[in-house]
Amino acid sequence: MDLSQFVLEGKTALVTGGSRGIGEATAIALANAGADVAVTSRKLPELVRVADRIREVGRKSMAVETHVGRMDQLQPLVDKVVSEFGKIDILVNNGGTSVASPAMEYSEKAWDSVMNLNLKGLFFLSQAVARVMMENGGGNIINVTSISAFKPEIPTCAYSISKAGVVMATQCMAIEWAQHNIRVNAIAPGPIDTHLFNAKYAVLPEEEAEQQLAGIATRVPLRRIGQPNEIADAMVFLASNASSYLTGQTITIDGGLTLR
């Protein structure tokens, strides 16, 4: 086995939702593998902290405040990264949101908020970055979907719908852009210890929240909630030459939960 295939030396990555959780862990993992990494999200102070961590491992970094759900901010984001690094080899579409509400009561505003960030922004940012990749001989796009794409999560049905769309977007982009040496894959995390995952339990009394989280852990065959770095390690694999014959696929990382 040639471990050099996992090295990302000379590559430039852009990670959305890069200020915490899976995005932060992914940005650091890519940097540790040798890539220069730009991180973006809606909260600049947290991004600056992550960018500083990337520089500590000897890689170049930049923090760009962007709302990926707003289409007018996508091309300026790409332009800033290309201006700083000259190219984008790896795009990780990790930014996402969820709004809890029964389907019968779901508002158009909440629907648009979820769809614009989770699906529409992902698609059009991928399109803009793919144009850059085409000019530089190819690249890798990695989308973050969810196991909720395969089994409805109630009462956040719009989130499940958006993540199901990400799986299909991954397949469509992979087919069309393979001729340009652009590989497109996705990761579907299960229960991972992140702000987004924990937010739905934060509104509960502490004892009840602990009971519900413990209940989830007991349903996972590996008997625990996953950690962001366990997703980030798979990101490095998909971003590297080690996965050179893999495209259009969604890798489920959930401790075996979907087998239940």
Which residues face 142 on adjacent strands? Answer: 92, 185
pLDDT band at 213 (very low <50, low <70, confident <90, very high): confident
Domains of the chain: 3-193+228-254 (3.40.50.720)
Average the pLDDT over 79-104 and give the result: 95
Statement: residue 206 has pLDDT above 90: no
Please state, as a whole number, how many other Cβ atoms lie within 10 Å of the Cβ of residue 230: 15
Provide the annotated active-site residues: 159
Supply the pLDDT for residue 203: 63
Statement: residue 259 has pLDDT above 90: yes
Is this structure's pTM higher than 0.75?
Answer: yes
Residue scoring higher pLDDT (205 or 55): 55
